[in-house]
Structure 1
Amino acid sequence: MATRSYADAVEHLNTLQSNAAVLDAIRASGGGRASNKAFEETVEYLERIGYSPSDLNTLNVIHITGTKGKGSTSAFTESIIRSCRPTWKTGLYTSPHLVAVRERIRINGAPIPESEFAKYFFEVWDRLQQNTKRASEETSIMPGYFRFLTILAFHAFLQLGVDATILEVGVGGTYDSTNIVPKPVATGITALGLDHVHVLGKTIPEIAWQKGGIYKKDVPALTVEQPVEGLAVLRERAAELGASEFAVVPTIPELFTTTLAGLAGAHQVQNASLAVHLAHAFFNSRQKKATEQLLPITFIQGLKNTRWPGRCQTVVDPQRDGLTWFLDGAHTLESLDCCTKWITSPGVIVQASGKTGSRVLIFNCTSGRSGSSFLAKIRDTIASQLRLHQIDESADTFFDRVIFCTNLTYADGHYKGDLTNNTISQTDLVSLNLQEQLATAWSDLIPSFPKSNTHVLPTVEHAINKVREVNQASKPLSVLVTGSLHLVGGVIEVAGLSEVAL
């Protein structure tokens, strides 16, 4: 290759994505082999680039999973540790990204620079291309997209000599590719969302068994309050795997009055509470106790400084007066409920004095999920919250316009490189089948809503252009973007919000 730039790295990385047809086949088969082989294959890929799993213990890992809130908890935990130990170097590995894939690998809270991402990317790529010896011929020479990024993160963190690593599980826990760290310093499980039972087609005990697979021998095993049947399984898994302790951490009351500006929403208090306890477990395990206090000033400062873009985030448009974006990648019934409660809190998107401007909803959801139930959840939660706060508005007229668009980034039919998504059926993209279904569902839900104010659009850029048309009026405009983190990332990219949002 003539060059080995960040763009080149992203282009190579995108070739490792599974296409929509492959994913459909995996889902149809129950996904068994794809997940069950992830652990052993990831170990093999790691060894092929020159490491053993035991090398990962030097990264001092806090491993976090759950069905909701795991990313936020990871961000809180990293920020607390950085606040307590400002001279340390921290590593944070999360997914998905919003605008740039390098967001998944953060050093001291910031996305790894493009030059370093490219450097470490091609070091891993070349080693895998050169060392093709495999235990099984069924194992592909190159790992899939997420597995490659996991190996890349491990390589980057080891090369950079991070002092503490916060590792967010991709999917599940037991078989996830992040679970190859033999002895993390602490492990934590966030809420087991009840609506994932329907989405994943599994029971709470089955989900809990998977998540509990991150617990390790002689390592603290923490979790938050869970459904009774899920908690029992987590307790059993902790005992089975030999955890040094199993603790159900309580919500910390003081956090309800702590302004978590970077991560708004009352539901974040539980995530922040788990992060506080994980940080204490981390310092205690390293015999470098942070403090006797549960919430010292360094912890509070770390929580306040946490930024996690695309989750209950308010962004004032830097280029257009009167335009404010409300960004939340909620993609389950429970997370949409939390999102809607956030925006209908007085002073966020509504005022006790009544409506003072226009509001737009931009929505999309992943194919296969029930869009109509998601939209019903938004509408019903708005109605109940307006009544709760005694705001004289109707849920049916809360939004002046609704836009249903695909996650395709640009009007000329392409994604930004980092946002390329081969997992979506091209047929669905071209036909706008899902978006038309969403529009029909919205019309059925609110028959009085003007059809002229319901827009089905092919790309994020089309959606942004429609918002800018509306924004030409003199009154304030509030835009809620939700239903998909990929959609939120596309909006940040196309609307030019990166400098203020990320």
Structure 2
Amino acid sequence: MSSRSYADAVDHLNSLQSNAATLDAVRASGGRLSTTAIPEMLEYLNRIGYAADDLNALHVIHVTGTKGKGSTCAFTDSILRHVKPEWKVGLYTSPHLVAVRERIRINGAPISEVEFAKFFFEVWDRLDQNTERANPETPEKPMYFRFVTLVAYHAFLSLKVDATILEVGVGGMYDSTNIVPKPVVTGVSALGIDHVGVLGKTLDQIAWQKAGIYKPGVPALTVDQPEEGMKVLKERAAEREASEFIVVKSVPSLSSITLGLSGAHQHQNATLAVSLARIFLQREGGVAPPPEDTLPEPYVKALERARWPGRCQTVVDPAHEQTVWFLDGAHTLESLDCCIQWFVGPRTALRTEVASRPKRVLIFNCTAGRTGASFLKAMVSKVGEQLKAHGRAEDASQFFDRVVFCTNVTYASGSYKGDLTSKNVHEHELTALTVQHELEAAWKSILPTYPADRIDVLPSVEHAVNAVRQEEKPVDVLVAGSLHLVGGVIEVAGLASVAL
């Protein structure tokens, strides 16, 4: 191989993506195909030269949940770095917004392109050199997420991190991150039923999956949950022999802190992060836990300075100062509810006179297979609730001056930025804009009086950004429904310098 650049690594990685047909098969199986994930992942790990027990050296905080798990990881990462600035802290999350290397961070910063390429090809080569498999039907190389997870393990072990925060990709029990035999502490953020609703799972089934990260002799934490979910989490913690089961308590002083992440729901995520960090720092850093009713200055600064791009994030366009982007990759009913509660706040809800307020544009897309109509209906309903809560008589059906439904294809040419390449949508659906037309029809059904000429169905993110550029200024733009969409907007609109 003549070239082994970061771009080459991304190209190789994209070749491991599951295509739309494969994802359809997983959905049709009801998730049964996931049960092979752990033994296969352990075999891949062995093939690149590690045993499962080696991963204990990463000193892991493992976090799952339906919503809030990424934010919890971001808060936890910030706390560890502020309390122990001399430590090297690794953070593994998914998905990325603009560059795949964002998934693997050291002390808050993505590893460099050079480092990512180095670790990537070391894993790639080891798999090429060790092709023997217990089951010949197991692919020679793992799919995209599993491969990146292997790269993260290899990078963190090679860099000798003092702490690692692992965010579960999907589920918990069968997730590729769930091969660490003995993490230091585990946590479950808020549960909900819609994230994997395509599999027809109930809340107790989802709780069973999430609690699969609980381990023998390891503290098992959770935020307050619905009764049926909490019952299963508690039972699973006992079944999996966790050292203790803890429902984290609110910290009174936390309510007075201006968190670095926006949204009322972030207080619950911050509470879980504080508890995870307290236990970890006591066990791994010899740091006496702070009082439960207050927080010391390093914790406060950490929570204030925490950043998690693309989640309830407000960005002033650096090249178009009268354009403000509201970026939130919310892609479940519950997270979209939080998104609208955040967006339709004092900044937007209290400025109702059309002549004096900014134009409001919604750019939206959602993954095929999810019920876009239910998402849009819930969003419109929440807009009405929020306007009423702020004492405004504005018509919720006319809150947005324009709505744009576009694909996640990055550029108007029909091509993707390498890191944003996606193969998980059927090509004929992309060409026909199937999902986008379904969203358009749903919007018209929900709001039959909404002017048709204010609804755009567009083939790329670049088309959507160009449509915003042509809007009368000032303009507030809400981008929601997909983290891939948010990443594409950051790339095309040139927001990386202020958003990432």
Quick check: TM above 0.5? yes
1:220 has 2:222 as partner: no
Q: How many residue pairs get matched? A: 496
SS in 1 for 2:388: helix
Moved more, 199-208 or 99-108: 199-208
Write the deviation string for residues 329-362 of structure 1: whole angstroms up to 9, x where unpaired. Answer: 1111111110000011102x33357451211000
- Residue 166 of structure 2 corresponds to residue 167 of structure 1: yes
Q: Deviations over 1:410-435 (max 9, x none)?
A: 11111111000011111110001111
CA contact (8 A) 1:311 1:327 kept: yes
Equivalent in the alignment of 1:96: 95
Q: TM-score, normalization: structure 2?
A: 0.97
**Could you say what secondary structure the match of 2:361 adopts?**
strand
List aligned pairs for 1:107-146, cutoff 5 A.
107-146=106-145
Report Cα offsets for 1:264-296 as digits up to 9, x if no partner.
Answer: 000011000000000011112226124433411
Distance (Å, rounded) in 2 between the aligned partners of 1:74 and 1:99: 19
Structure 2 runs not aligned, ≥5 long: none
Cα distance in 1, alignment partners of residues 311 and 353 from structure 2: 26
Q: Output the CA distance in 1 between the equivalents of 2:381 and 2:241.
A: 45
Structure 2 residue matching 1:325: 3-state secondary structure: strand
Work out the CA distance in 2 between the residues paired with 1:218 and 1:135: 30
Q: CA deviation at 1:131?
A: 0.7
State the distance in 1 between where 2:178 and 2:196 align.
Answer: 22
2:210 equivalent in structure 1: 211
1:406 corresponds to 2:404:
no
Q: 1:482 aligns with which of 480, 483, 489?
A: 480
- Deviation of 1:165 after TM superposition, in Å, equals 0.3
1:383 aligns with 384
The alignment partner of 1:179 has SS state of coil
Q: Structure 1: how far apart are the matches of 2:146 and 2:191? A: 24
Q: Are the aligned partners of 1:337 and 1:377 in contact in 2 as well (CA < 8 Å)?
A: yes
For residues 151 and 71 of structure 1, do their structure 2 counterparts lie closer, same or farther at Cα, with a shift above 3 Å needed? same
Alignment-derived partner of residue 442 in structure 1: 443
Correspondences of 1:224-303 after superposition (within 5 Å): 224-261=223-260, 263-286=261-284, 288-294=286-292, 295-303=295-303
Residues 124-165 of structure 1: per-residue CA shift (max 9 Å, x gap)? 000001111111112111011000011100000000111000
CA offset at residue 257 of structure 1?
A: 2.5
CA contact (8 A) 1:324 1:477 kept: yes
Question: Does structure 1 retain, via aligned residues, the 8 Å contact 2:350–2:390?
Answer: no
| 1:175 partner letter | Y
Question: C-alpha distance in 1, partners of 2:259/2:58?
Answer: 28
Report deviation, 1:175. Answer: 1.2
Is the contact between residue 14 and residue 420 of structure 1 (CA under 8 Å) also seen in structure 2? yes
Q: Distance in 1 between matches of 2:288 and 2:386?
A: 40
Q: Is the 8 A contact 2:65 2:210 kept in 1?
A: yes
Indicate if the aligned counterparts of 1:20 and 1:422 stay in contact, CA closer than 8 A.
yes
Q: What's the TM-score, normalizing by structure 1? A: 0.97
Give, in whole Å, the separation in 2 of the partners of 1:84 and 1:205.
Answer: 36
Change (3 A) 1:287 1:99: closer
Which residue of 488, 491, 494 maps to 1:493? 491
For 2:389 and 2:147, how far apart are their aligned partners in 1? Answer: 47
- 5 Å matches for 1:58-77? 58-77=57-76
Structure 2 Cα separation of the partners of residues 18 and 287 of structure 1: 40
**1:182-221 map, 5 Å:** 182-196=181-195, 198-221=197-220
1:203 Cα offset (Å): 1.5
> Contact 1:189/1:223 (CA < 8 Å) preserved in 2?
yes
CA contact (8 A) 2:207 2:232 kept: yes
Letter aligned with residue 492 of structure 1: I
Instruction: State the alpha-carbon separation in 2 of the partners of residues 70 and 162 from structure 1.
Output: 21
Equivalent position of 1:41 in the other structure: 40
Task: Structure 1: state its 5+ residue gaps.
Answer: none
What is the alpha-carbon distance in structure 2 between the residues aligned to residue 362 and residue 68 of structure 1? Answer: 21
AA at the equivalent of 1:342: W
**Residues 252, 269 of structure 1: 8 Å contact kept:** no
AA partner of residue 132 (structure 2): K
SS of residue matched to 2:178? helix
C-alpha distance in structure 2 between counterparts of 1:455 and 1:255, whole Å: 42
Separation of aligned partners in 2, 1:266 and 1:111? 27
2:407–2:430 contact (8 Å) kept in structure 1: yes
Is 2:334 aligned against 1:334? Answer: yes
Q: State how far apart, in whole Å, the 2-side matches of 1:147 and 1:5 are.
A: 21
> Within 1, Cα distance between the matches of 2:3 and 2:340?
46
SS at structure 2 position matched to 1:286? helix
2:301 maps to a residue whose letter is Q
AA in 1 matched with 2:246: A
Q: Are residues 1:363 and 2:364 paired?
A: yes
CA drift of 1:256 comes to 2.6
What secondary structure, in the 3-state scheme, does the structure 2 residue paired with 1:37 have?
Answer: helix
Structure 1 counterpart of 2:452: 451
1:449: Cα distance to partner? 1.4
| CA displacement at 1:441 relative to structure 2 | 1.2
Q: Matched residues in 2 for 1:444 and 1:150: separation?
A: 42
